[in-house]
Amino acid sequence: MTNRILHSRIQETDNLESNRQREAKFMSDKEKAIIVHGLTRIFGELVAADNISFEVEEGESFGLVGANGAGKTTTLMMLATMLNPTSGSASICGCSILNNRDGVRNSIGIVFEKMSLDIQLTGRENLDFHARMYHLPKKFRQKRIDEVLELAGLKDKADTIVKDYSGGMQRRLEIARSMLTRPRVLLLDEPTVGLDVQTRRFMWDHVKELNRQQGVTVLLATHYIEEADYLCDRIGIIDKGQIITIDTPQALKDSIGKSVVSLKLHNGPQEDAARLFERLPWVNKLRKNDGFLELSLGTEDVNLADIAKLAQENGFAISSIRLRKPSLEDVYLHYVGKQFEKEDI
């Protein structure tokens, strides 16, 4: 076989393999509701979103968890085509946020952090106005408005002025509005801020039902750790515009240890006690948290009495000690190195 023929056949094989790889990638991407690659947004000297990358499967509920100012809203606004990225790319349901904005907007529903309802109109009038903006045909429009009102549990309040709605009802109306066009992807930016605990939990169940029963892909931006833990299949922790880590809630908890010991000293310098415990082979990491020393342990087989005895033998008295499973708040503290602000918890 001549070198030219051999080279030709090798080239054909390479092309075939390349085509197969492209086809495999295309088929894989078809299953991705959201693909984000290197998304960056700079305001002057502030890097609000810094080379953010993640993917969300169809039907998945994905959370971006971070403190206020971490870059969550900026990321969602870029994905919603309401803000141009400085660099990077993203697609929703196969539509580029750069080259196919109409396709993106036809694929998404969005609930903003700040309420955007007309409180002088009724719930039905708010929905009708929104439906007309999307040019929904009249016959379909009325039917769909009734459907989303039923879905949000607001059918009996449809003709009530929105200013007379509770905060939770207004949020549910905003979610109902976002669902009018049957979006494949729902973007939620801090959807339960300002709601009481009971109403917040009701909202969580409502969003979970949309995700599980309606098959809607959910991208949630929140600073409520328990909200992400309850709602999300996977979580990305974001800080200073960067994604720090991504995994399932349970895998994130497992990543920092099997258990956590929280202890408070009755006497002795905390720094000296920290150095003592850090040297123990079964302590993965030690951190200080609001006057407590928190030990992330690599084992569940820990005797608290042995820890107290070790402290006493080294001149420290423990006034409080507790063993517990890691929480997502522990995970956040582990990866970011600080707690949320008090008002963020």
Phi, psi dihedral angles at 45 (to 5 degrees) = -100, 0
In CATH, what number does 33-252 get? 3.40.50.300
Q: What is the mean pLDDT of residues 200-229?
A: 92
Could you give the angle at which helices 270-278 and 304-313 cross, rounded to 10 degrees?
Answer: 120
Residues 223-262: tens digit of each pLDDT: 999 999 999 999 999 999 999 999 999 999 999 888 898 8
69-78, 106-115, 293-302 — which one is most confidently predicted on average? 69-78
The share of the chain scoring above pLDDT 70, in percent, equals: 89
Q: What is the mean pLDDT of residues 127-150?
A: 91
pLDDT-based confidence at residue 20 (cuts at 50, 70, 90)? very low
Q: Where are the beta strands (DSSP E) in the chain?
A: 32-43, 46-57, 61-65, 87-92, 95-96, 108-111, 185-189, 217-222, 234-239, 242-247, 259-265, 283-289, 292-297, 318-324
Report the SS3 class of residue 113: coil
What secondary structure does DSSP assign to 159-213, as a single string? TSBGGGS-HHHHHHHHHHHHTTT--SEEEEESTTTT--HHHHHHHHHHHHHHHHH
User: Could you say which DSSP state residue 97 is in?
Assistant: T
Residue 294, C-beta contacts closer than 8 angstroms, at least 6 positions apart? 260, 261, 262, 286, 287, 288, 330, 333
Domains 33-252 and 257-325 fall in the same CATH topology: no
Residues 281-294: tens digit of each pLDDT: 888 888 887 788 88
What tokens does 35 get? 């693909």
pTM for this structure?
0.81
pLDDT at 175 over 80: yes
pLDDT value at residue 300: 76
pLDDT value at residue 291: 82
Residues 62-96: tens digit of each pLDDT: 999 999 999 999 999 999 999 999 999 999 999 99
Q: What is the mean pLDDT of residues 299-323?
A: 86
pLDDT-based confidence at residue 11 (cuts at 50, 70, 90)? low
Return the domain boundaries, the chain: 1-30, 33-252, 257-325
On whether the 257-325 domain is CATH 3.30.70.1340, my answer is: yes
pLDDT at 33 over 60: yes
Q: In what order do the strands lie in the sheet with 61-65?
A: 108-111, 185-189, 217-222, 61-65, 234-239, 242-247
Amino acid at 27: M
